[in-house]
Amino acid sequence: MELTGAEIVTRCLAEEGVEFVFGYPGGAVLNIYDEIFKQNKFKHVLVRHEQAAVHAADAFARASGKVGVALVTSGPGATNAVTGIATAYMDSIPVVIISGQVPTAAIGLDAFQEVDAVGITRPCVKHNFLVKDVGELASTIKKAFHIAATGRPGPVLVDIPKDVTFHKTEFAYPDSVSMRSYNPVLKGHSGQIKKAAQMLLEARRPMIYTGGGVILGNASEQVTELARLLHYPVTNTLMGLGGYPASDRQFLGMLGMHGTYEANMAMQHCDVLLAVGARFDDRVIGNPAHFAREQRRIVHIDVDPSSISKRVKVDVPIVGDVRQVLDELLKLFKASKETPDEAALNTWWTQIELWRSRNCLKYNRESEIIKPQFVVEKLWEVTGGDAFVTSDVGQHQMWAAQFYKFDKPRRWLNSGGLGTMGVGLPYAMGAQLAHPEATIACITGESSIQMCIQELSTCKQYRLPVKIINLNNRYMGMVRQWQEFFYGSRYAESYMESLPDFVRLAESYGHVGMRIDKPEDVEGALKEAFSPALKERLVFMDFQTDQTENVYPMVEGGKGLSEMILAEEL
């Protein structure tokens, strides 16, 4: 039977097992919306801004491991989506974005709501397509899902001109995709894996450093088993949190610009480093020249060859699916008669414990003003460490990463690569839809939350009972911190004047609002918000926090990992 392009779109999405499409209608996609109206295979979630559509689809993918889907119209719909697409791209999140386009005959004529969506998004997608012929629509959508989800994942945009959505063709959804130009390497080189095993066993000061690739590659079980087997210390990047249980003794905390003293020192001073699904980026190792000062041998496992030896030269590169490669490594260790040098390892752990005893995350617990760290600690307690936590970008993001101990993967959703303020609330929506029964907490700041605040309305419509923890310091705190440290405390445009009354704002959207001013009320408020009585409600908690608090430790831009500024030194 012949179907229209619009019918084909909805049929393809159904074939892919899509549960939710996050979108916003407009002229170029009305045929598709008409088909959405007629079907019941997947639900459409109407956001209030296309940026949030892509963020929510991205969060759905992060929290579930499936491909997220967003649908936007041509022109402003597509341009509004770009921030979301770039955010997903920087963190390698599998999302398929379908955008409407003006009819093929009008392309290039500056038609109403025309933009070159393929051109605009080219540098921030894994791949994109303009479908000019309805005959290629189904196979293109199939390819889009395949490319988004395999290898190093990423967003794929499919731009569909309006005429293609009403042209008809025979529909057949391909079972599989074969592309001569795209075949990611999944199986690691066995010789390299052997070399890696040997090198790791010879370590005297070993370190395991894992990133977002372990989360995306579903390899946290393998990382955990390997670390426990060898009794080696582990650190995670901001994107990698949850890759190893954070409440375990072998975990040294996050590393990098706001990493712990012990993680950064161990990273700098180890003699053999196992890097898994991580990319040695500037926020992680600081100045690469300083990092290279210490002699160490590096094993690097990653599915993307271009991530290897990009900023730091490595000794044993292994290209492959991190889970498969770690399975192979584990087999070798289990079969091996050799074990790590126990005496050397003990000495190394003694050193690490000494670093740990600096207690680099300490803060003033006697404060009469609410300390943001205290709120996150209490949140962890009240939620039993088992919530899905999203954050925006700024100081609150770092405190969330430092103080909420993630024991499981896919529980921590934030924009690590692009650092996009505004993701917090749409991320919470995507996570809640992926896990309807789970507890979802959005840790945000009063500046970030205002960048996608309109989504409170979406939350009302779809009854998404997310809990918003607003660490309200009346400043763009992270900007203020940099201005304090590096610009002589000249706080140019970083103070948030004329803030709304968040309690009444939340209420006007039909939600519950709370304002918390004193440290002694923090726990009670959290307990109430997360109580069964409010289980079905969105609760907006506006915590009035200390305006002067800074994030420590801190590695200044361009400095080395071991050159941290610590709280006590100030």
Partner 1 sequence: MSSRHIISLLMENESGALSRVAGLFSARAYNIESLTVAPTEDATLSRMTIVTVGSEDVIEQIIKQLNKLVDVVKVLDLTEGSHIERELMLVKVRAAGKEREELKRMADIFRGRIIDVADLTYTIELTGTGTKLDAFLEAIDQGAILETVRTGASGIGRGDRILKV
Ligand X SMILES: Cc1ncc(C[n+]2csc(CCOP(=O)(O)OP(=O)(O)O)c2C)c(N)n1
Pairing of strands 2-4, 168-170: antiparallel
Which stretch in 68-76, 118-126, 175-183, 443-451 sits in contact with ligand X by CB under 6 A?
443-451
Residue 50 annotated among the catalytic residues of the structure? yes
Does residue 76 contact residue 51 with C-beta atoms inside 8 Å? no
Tell me the three state secondary structure of residue 335.
Answer: helix
Cα–Cα distance measured from residue 28 to residue 102, given in angstroms and rounded to the nearest whole number: 6
Cα–Cα distance measured from residue 156 to residue 173, given in angstroms and rounded to the nearest whole number: 18
Count Cβ atoms below 10 Å from residue 548 Cβ, excluding itself.
12
Q: Which of residues 295-314 bind partner 1 (CB under 8 A)?
A: 304-306, 309-310
Of 126, 142, 143, 162, the catalytic one is 162
Among 76, 103, 288, 419, binds ligand X (CB under 6 A): 419
Which stretch in 17-25, 116-124, 410-418, 540-548 sits in contact with partner 1 by CB under 8 A?
116-124
Cα–Cα distance measured from residue 369 to residue 349, given in angstroms and rounded to the nearest whole number: 37
Residue 478 annotated among the catalytic residues of the structure? yes
Is residue 10 within the footprint of ligand X (CB under 6 A)? no
Is residue 287 within the footprint of partner 1 (CB under 8 A)? no
Within 254-371, residue ranges assigned H as helices are 261-269, 282-285, 288-291, 322-335, 342-356
Which stretch in 118-126, 379-387, 518-526, 550-558 sits in contact with partner 1 by CB under 8 A?
118-126
Which stretch in 180-188, 282-290, 389-397, 445-453 sits in contact with partner 1 by CB under 8 A?
180-188
CA 460 to chain centre: 24
Among 281, 392, 546, 549, binds ligand X (CB under 6 A): 392
Is residue 189 within the footprint of partner 1 (CB under 8 A)? no
Is residue 130 within the footprint of partner 1 (CB under 8 A)? yes
Residue closer to ligand X (CB basis): 203 or 469: 469
Among 147, 199, 216, 393, binds partner 1 (CB under 8 A): 147
Is residue 315 within the footprint of partner 1 (CB under 8 A)? no
Of 478, 514, 554, 564, the catalytic one is 478
Q: Which of residues 341-360 bind partner 1 (CB under 8 A)?
A: none
Contact flags string 27-56 toward partner 1, x per CB under 8 A: ------------------------------
**CB 289, min distance to partner 1, A:** 14
Is residue 405 within the footprint of partner 1 (CB under 8 A)? no
Of 112, 461, 527, 535, the catalytic one is 112
Of 7, 50, 114, 262, the catalytic one is 50
CA 243 to chain centre: 13
Is residue 84 within the footprint of ligand X (CB under 6 A)? no
CA 532 to chain centre: 29
Does residue 86 contact residue 53 with C-beta atoms inside 8 Å? no
Among 51, 73, 260, 420, binds ligand X (CB under 6 A): 420
Among 180, 334, 337, 490, binds partner 1 (CB under 8 A): 180
Is residue 119 within the footprint of partner 1 (CB under 8 A)? yes
Which of partner 1, ligand X, none is residue 421 near (CB under 5 to 8 Å by kind)? ligand X
Is residue 75 within the footprint of ligand X (CB under 6 A)? no
Is residue 446 within the footprint of ligand X (CB under 6 A)? yes
Does residue 423 contact residue 87 with C-beta atoms inside 8 Å? yes
Residue 336 region by backbone torsions, left for phi larger than 0, else alpha for psi between -120 and 50, else beta: beta
Which stretch in 103-111, 185-193, 246-254, 417-425 sits in contact with ligand X by CB under 6 A?
417-425
Q: Which of residues 464-503 bind ligand X (CB under 6 A)?
A: 471, 473, 475-479
Tell me the three state secondary structure of residue 193.
Answer: helix
Which of partner 1, ligand X, none is residue 392 near (CB under 5 to 8 Å by kind)? ligand X
Residue 113 annotated among the catalytic residues of the structure? yes
The one-letter amino acid code at 94 reads P
Which of ligand X, partner 1, none is residue 180 near (CB under 5 to 8 Å by kind)? partner 1
**List of E strands, 231-310:** 234-236, 251-254, 272-276, 297-302
- ω before 553 within 30° of 0 (cis)? yes
Q: Residue 421 is encoded by which pair of tokens?
A: 């303020």
Does residue 535 contact residue 465 with C-beta atoms inside 8 Å? yes
Pairing of strands 95-101, 539-544: unpaired
Is residue 445 within the footprint of ligand X (CB under 6 A)? yes
> In Å, how far are 99, 149, 196, 251, 335 from 9, measured between CA atoms?
11, 18, 46, 46, 50
Of 113, 198, 454, 544, the catalytic one is 113
Which of partner 1, ligand X, none is residue 419 near (CB under 5 to 8 Å by kind)? ligand X
Closest CA to 144 of 118, 126, 169, 168: 126
**CB 452, min distance to ligand X, A:** 10
Is residue 447 within the footprint of ligand X (CB under 6 A)? yes
Is residue 181 within the footprint of partner 1 (CB under 8 A)? yes
By CB atoms closer than 10 A (0-12, 13-18, 19+), residue 241 is buried
Residue closer to partner 1 (CB basis): 128 or 415: 128
Among 166, 173, 182, 485, binds partner 1 (CB under 8 A): 182
Tell me the three state secondary structure of residue 36.
Answer: helix
CA 35 to chain centre: 32
Q: Which residues are CB-contacts of 339 (< 8 A; sequence separation ≥ 6)?
A: 201
Cα–Cα distance measured from residue 401 to residue 391, given in angstroms and rounded to the nearest whole number: 9
Does residue 562 contact residue 261 with C-beta atoms inside 8 Å? no
Residue closer to partner 1 (CB basis): 139 or 250: 139
Count Cβ atoms below 10 Å from residue 64 Cβ, excluding itself.
17
Q: Which helix (H) or strand (E) holds 316?
A: strand 316-319
Query: Contact residues for partner 1 (CB under 8 A)?
Result: 118-119, 122-123, 126-127, 130, 147, 179-182, 304-306, 309-310
Q: Which residues are catalytic?
A: 50, 112-113, 162, 478
Query: Contact residues for ligand X (CB under 6 A)?
Result: 392-396, 419-421, 445-448, 471, 473, 475-479
